[in-house]
Amino acid sequence: MNTSATARAKVPVTVITGFLGAGKTTLLRHVLANARGRRIAIVVNEFGTLGIDGDTLRACGIEGCGDDDIVELTNGCLCCTVADDFLPTMEALLDRPTPPDHIVIETSGLALPKPLLKAFGWPTIRTRMTVDGVVTVVDGPAVADGRFADDPAEVARQQAADPSLDHDNPLAEVFEDQLLCADLIVLNKTDLLAPAQADAVEAAIRAEVPRAVKIVRATDGQVDPAILLGLDAAAEDDLAARPSHHDAEDGEHEHDDFASFVVPLPEQGSVEGFIDRLKALAEQHDILRMKGYASVRGKPMRLAVQGVGSRFRHQFDRPLGPDAPRTGNLVVIGCQGMDRAAIAATLAQG
């Protein structure tokens, strides 16, 4: 534990990571709603070019959560754009007349935490901030459904066809790297799991993580900020205990296995028809994540939509205004090779 005066003077930073749709933004909203006067600055990073999570946080209506406290980066995963985006952003937060008491970084669902931790060794920020902890949010139902597991029969078939094939699973690699970097793991969406399923998911996580890491169970990201903030891990000084699939590559990696694009949406005829169409698309094209906003005929408010696989949540979140365009946008994230034209054509139906 860091007890020196120098360490205490550093601004603590919490990194919230977790795969696409695990519930990171929901968790962050809960933290902001229970900040109890603490000045918290938020850095939100998204894989796509259109920011949805930052907009979601700005629409939260939480007192003391102003636009200036939320910085959104949409130029790619922070783990790949450290020098261009991350360092200038952190330096700007530190140089404010009234610096934040705590900084929380919500990474992209496809980001690897370890390269980001290494950036805290940069001379201009090393003496001024410390990584208080890495919190990894896990989508319990996705793990229970085998989203990150290999299909042994399919792997055997591929290797039988080509013995030289070096099999890898890009989803599993990202998921495992996020687990291996954690100081705290939040097993989220446990309300969607039977008790035995939750126990099995937790056991699978513990089998994956070689060191002792506390796991807390949550519904809708409802975790006391006192548990999340104040871990005092100084994670930037503990990199060796956080193995990564990309250690041999000195952290360099690409996200070529994944793709993201934005589809403009016409006004929708009904909420039910729109959600049913999204579910069918997710199953047909094995889409990992969909999130965005739409307008619905006859409804004065904007419809916010969040989807993980074929599981969707939606709510009317803000008035559209009499002169607002009756259109929307949807971010679609999946593996390379998605039929973008077919997906866009289906969504263009309105």
Task: Identify the three-state secondary structure at position 21.
Answer: coil
Question: Residue 254: in which H helix or E strand, if any?
Answer: none
Q: Give the bridge partners for 137, in sequence order.
A: 186
Tokens representing 101 are 């008491």
Q: Across the chain, what does the average pLDDT equal?
A: 82
Q: What is the pLDDT of residue 280?
A: 95
Q: Which of these ranges, 40-49, 64-73, 228-237, has the smallest mean pLDDT? A: 64-73
Q: Is the pLDDT of residue 154 over 70?
A: no
Q: How many CA atoms lie within 13 A of 163 on its CB side?
A: 0
Q: What is the pLDDT of residue 131?
A: 96
Those residues whose C-beta lies under 8 Å from the C-beta of residue 226, and which sit 6 or more positions away, are: none
Distance of CA 224 to the CA centre of its chain: 19
Q: What is the pLDDT of residue 51?
A: 47
Q: Which of 43, 8, 18, 34 is nearest to 232 (CA)?
A: 8
Q: Which of these ranges, 15-24, 32-41, 62-71, 98-107, has the smallest mean pLDDT? A: 62-71
Helix residue spans in 78-192 (DSSP H): 87-94, 113-118, 123-126, 140-144, 152-161, 170-180
Single-letter residue type at 331: V
Question: Residue 121: in which H helix or E strand, if any?
Answer: none
pLDDT per position as a tens digit, 131-150: 999 999 999 999 998 888 65
pLDDT per position as a tens digit, 181-193: 999 999 999 999 9
pLDDT band at 333 (very low <50, low <70, confident <90, very high): confident
* Of 336 and 151, the one with more pLDDT: 336
**Position of tokens 């968790």?**
27
Single-letter residue type at 1: M
Q: Which of 11, 232, 255, 250 is nearest to 115 (CA)?
A: 250
